[in-house]
Amino acid sequence: MTPERVISIAFGASVVASAALVVVYLTGGDAQLEGLLLGVALGGLGFGVVTWATRLLHEDEVTEERPPLGTGEATVEATGQMLKDDEVTRRSALVRLLAGASATLAAALSIPALSLGPRPGQSLFRTRWSAGKRLVDLDGNPVRPDAVQPGAVQTVFPEGEVGAADAQTLLIKVDPERLQLPSGREAWAPEGVVSYSKICTHAGCPVGLYRAESHELLCPCHQSTFDVLTGAEPTFGPADRPLPQLPIEIDDEGYLVAMGDFSAPVGPGFWNLQRDDGEEQLS
């Protein structure tokens, strides 16, 4: 079998295997079959390239002495031209097969990227909270300020989003005169009710313990401690940024509602990024 035929078969097998890999993946997938097809696609392409390099590109010239031929110069030139044209045609066909095998393999390898889903966009910075969303308890009941007991902590969610992991929020009632919230948050704690994300900014554990005497929230995982009176600033432990605060107010019916989303991305600090408005979020 000639080298050209061997190379053609190898590239052809690679094209067929790559196309079959795409079909198998799009029709539900089979890990073992996909692995086999990928091996054939890569193997066929590699074998064809190696054969081309060793059998066609590096042929040694061998000179053999022989008596002069009786054929005329015109016949010799015509024969040489025919051989040259045939070689060009075969090489062009091999190049096309190589390009086809490479393209189908690239397509097969790019298809799994569809499984990655949509880009996260700003979802890392946004939660289910938005302006006008009522705060509800675990049973979905709206919460009034007088329902929050001093010295206790209550977990709430946006109305219609009970159980949303990124939106779980802690309500705590303190003496309004003792609050020392960051500038611009003076109206975020109606009747002394403050609300902070329940997700620890160190490792994402739930901050579920409250020391009423010292007004501190405690994460049981690594003992990060946050001062409720000063905007949940960390006072102990590995957490290096405050718990994001949820701005809240009282609506016309006397229920607590959100004025917007949290003051910062919830959860552990991941990387330094910027929101669309250019505000830098520090990890």
Range 27-38 average pLDDT: 82
| Residue 60, number of CB atoms within 10 A of its CB | 4
CATH code, domain with 230 = 2.102.10.10
Pair 110, 141 in one domain: no
Kindly indicate the confidence band of residue 219, based on its pLDDT and cuts at 50, 70 and 90.
Answer: very high
Pair 108, 149 in one domain: no
Which residues lie below 8 Å from residue 136, measured CB to CB, with a gap of 6+?
A: 142, 143, 156, 157, 158, 159, 162
Separation between Cα atoms, residue 31 and residue 6, nearest integer Å: 29
Kindly indicate the confidence band of residue 271, based on its pLDDT and cuts at 50, 70 and 90.
Answer: very low
Pair 83, 198 in one domain: no
Pair 12, 106 in one domain: yes
Among 37-41, 73-77, 114-118, 261-265, the range of highest mean pLDDT: 261-265
> Nearest-CA neighbor of 247 among 162, 169, 149?
169
* Stated pTM of the model: 0.56
Query: Is 122 a member of any domain?
Result: no
Q: Decide which of 72 and 198 is more confident.
A: 198
What is the per-residue pLDDT for 144?
94
Q: How many domains does the chain have?
A: 2
Q: Decide which of 173 and 272 is more confident.
A: 173
Kindly indicate the confidence band of residue 131, based on its pLDDT and cuts at 50, 70 and 90.
Answer: very high
Pair 20, 81 in one domain: yes
Query: Is 10 a member of any domain?
Result: yes
Kindly indicate the confidence band of residue 258, based on its pLDDT and cuts at 50, 70 and 90.
Answer: very high
Given a cut of 70, is residue 7 above it in pLDDT?
yes
Tokens of 276: 């669309």
Output the CA–CA distances (angstroms, integers) from residue 163 to 51, 136, 157, 184, in the order listed: 61, 11, 7, 30
Given a cut of 70, is residue 74 above it in pLDDT?
no
pLDDT digits (tens, 9 = 90+) for 78-109: 555 555 545 546 667 777 777 877 887 787 77
Kindly indicate the confidence band of residue 25, based on its pLDDT and cuts at 50, 70 and 90.
Answer: confident
Pair 35, 147 in one domain: no
Are 207 and 200 in contact, with CB atoms under 8 Å apart?
A: yes
| Residue whose tokens read 């996260």 | 120
Pair 149, 265 in one domain: yes
Residue 155's domain spans which residues? 135-281
Pair 140, 277 in one domain: yes
Helix pair 73-110, 31-55: axis angle to 10 deg: 150
pLDDT digits (tens, 9 = 90+) for 174-203: 999 999 999 999 899 999 999 999 999 998
- For the chain, give percent helix, strand, coil, nearest 5: 40, 15, 45
Pair 190, 95 in one domain: no
